[in-house]
Each structure stands twice: as structure tokens, then as C-alpha cells.
Amino acid sequence: MIRTQSITFDLAMKPQQIFDFRGAFIDMVRSSKLTKQEKELFSNREEAPDGSKGKAIERYPLIQYRWAEGKALIWAMNEGVDAIKKLVKSKIFDQFTIQNQHVPLLVTHTSEKELVALRIDEERAHLYLVFHFVPFGQDKEKEYHSMPTYIEKIKVLEQVLLNELVLLTYAVGMKTDKKITVEIVDIIRKSNARYKTKNSDGSYMVIEPQSYFMKIRSNIVLPEGIAIGRHKAYGYGIIIPVA
């Protein structure tokens, strides 16, 4: 089984503000009494001896920063659930500061679930909606848009989806010798995923890679709320089963 927990805060949030919210939340966590390993779950970065952030850890983010109905939300999975529960018990949310403003976080809703483990269904394929799926970085996105036919583009998108699903199986420790299949049923809408990032010189910029709201079909059984694609730690690529 896969354990998940989501915590919604009474903090107004837009997608492009998730970057700042995540950074502020991680700063708050660094001042907590969580262990080094637990703190690293919130940032997916190694914790340096002086408490500063170190190099990135290449793994599926077990704690993700999202927005729902205009409010900030934290989503956690497995070990991430244990870490966020420990943080809640520490009563540190009243110390939250964002952009030099002290804004105590008030929890308005908590949802904890035990979901089906990932598995291959040999009898039928399942339908899913994928929200704001970001498949490419800037360079790959230009290459994708230069492809001459829509058919070629769909094949590339399906390959990216397949790669993401395979990586997801590694992340949750699913072992199988069966082939994962995935196909795009419909691209319902395309939009820009506003994403704030930090330059090497310390300045900030907002980029807008293309994101896709799509319906897909796959033989892998996926739990509600798990995310795939780029920037999933920032609320993109969330999957909802529909059939």
C-alpha cells in the first residue's frame, strides 16, 4: 500500500507562488528538531553540516508543494507522511515566514489515505486525467515544437509518459518484469505552467513551459494524487483515476 497525506493551509496561493512557499517552508523546517534525513525529504537536497542546503538528491519527491482552490497545500507519501506528522506535532507552523513577513500557518484540512500499490493490470487498461503535465525543459520543448507532424509529437509525449511511469515504479519499489504500456487518449487543453526559478547569479526569473491537461490510458494501476513529469514537487503532473 502507498500512504499519502495532504495538509491544506489558510494561505492564499497561486501556482507561480509555490516556489516562494516551498523555499519558505523548507527554511522553517531547517529550524525544526527533525533529523537530517527528515529535513532532506522536504527539499530533496542534502543538508550541509552548517544547516545550509547542499547538492540535489536525485529521487522522487516524497513531499510536494501544491495549491488547491487558491490555498497552499503540502502532499506527502510514505516516509514523507511520517516526517510531516512529526513536523505538525512540533507546532512550528506559527513560526512560518515568507518574503520577510511573519505569516503563521493555520491548518484548515488534513486528509490521510492508504492507497493501492502500483501494479500491472493484465486484464484491462485504466483511464487517468493528468493535470498540468510538464514533459520538457526549455531546450527539449523547442525541439518538440519543431517536429513536422502531430503524430511524431504524440509519440514523443507518450515516450516521456512511459519514462515517467517507469521512474515512478522505481521510486515506490515496485518490481515487475511486465511491460508498462501508455497511450494518450486526448489532449484536452494546453497551457503555460508558470514556474519561478533562481538563476546562477541569485536573481529570479519566471519561465512558462507548456503543460498539458490530458487523458491517458495505461495498464499500470496508479493511486489518486500521485504526480509525474517535471516540477512535480511544485504541483504539476497530478494524476486522477477516472475509470
Domains (range + CATH), the chain: 2-115 (3.30.70), 119-241 (3.30.70)
Close Cβ partners of 151 (under 8 Å, ≥ 6 residues apart): none
Task: State the average pLDDT over residues 183-187.
Answer: 96
Residue 124, C-alpha cell as written in the block? 484491462
Residue 229 has pLDDT above 60, yes or no: yes
The DSSP H or E segment spanning 206 is: strand 204-207
According to the model, what pLDDT value does residue 208 have? 82
State the Cα torsion 76-81-85-87 to the nearest 10°.
-60
Q: What secondary structure letter does DSSP report for 82? A: H
**CA–CA dist 174, 16 (Å, integer):** 33
Residue 100 has pLDDT above 70, yes or no: yes
Task: State the average pLDDT over residues 182-205.
Answer: 83
Residue 51 has pLDDT above 60, yes or no: no
Close Cβ partners of 69 (under 8 Å, ≥ 6 residues apart): none
According to the model, what pLDDT value does residue 206 have? 79
Close Cβ partners of 179 (under 8 Å, ≥ 6 residues apart): none
According to the model, what pLDDT value does residue 117 have? 79
Give the residue among 66, 12, 81, 78 at the shortest CA–CA distance from 227: 66
**Residue 158: how many CB atoms within 10 A of its CB?**
15
Task: State the average pLDDT over residues 122-146.
Answer: 91
According to the model, what pLDDT value does residue 173 have? 85
Model confidence band, residue 162 (pLDDT cutoffs 50, 70, 90): very high
Give the residue among 181, 187, 192 at the shortest CA–CA distance from 231: 192
Task: State the average pLDDT over residues 145-170.
Answer: 93
Whole-model pTM: value is: 0.88
- The larger pLDDT score, comparing residue 83 to residue 137, is at 83
According to the model, what pLDDT value does residue 171 have? 84
Residue 218, C-alpha cell as written in the block? 495505461
Task: State the average pLDDT over residues 158-171.
Answer: 93
According to the model, what pLDDT value does residue 116 have? 76
According to the model, what pLDDT value does residue 228 have? 95
Average pLDDT, the chain: 90
